[in-house]
Amino acid sequence: MSFKFNAEVRTAQGKGASRRLRHNGQIPAIVYGGNAEPVSIILSHDELNNAQVHDAFYSDVITLVIDGKDVAVKVQAMQRHPFKPKLVHIDFKRV
């Protein structure tokens, strides 16, 4: 199973900006590793929440489309809400 998600580069940083994203059904995330600089991104909560129920989401290579470029990544860490079935933040590591 292959996963591919569209991502936007995130310009607004901080707690308030992240809360606004989550309120609008989006998740703040970061892509790091490799020779490139870390990139803060925005992803759709519903797409990721539906994909994360599959075991392959955590072990397979995921493709993120950031500014029209495909970036191969793997899930490094996920933060979930303590009692709601919501994702809070995701860290991706470049392959």
Q: What is the mean pLDDT of residues 46-70?
A: 95
Which CATH class, in words, describes the domain spanning 3-94?
Answer: mainly beta
With contact defined as beta carbons under 8 Å apart, do 39 and 30 qualify?
yes
**Backbone dihedral region of 88: left (phi > 0), alpha (psi from -120 to 50 degrees) or beta?**
alpha
Of 80, 93, 74, the C-alpha closest to 49 is: 80
Q: What is the mean pLDDT of residues 77-82?
A: 95
Q: What is the pLDDT of residue 1?
A: 77
For the whole model, what pTM was predicted?
0.92
**Length, in residues, of the chain:** 95
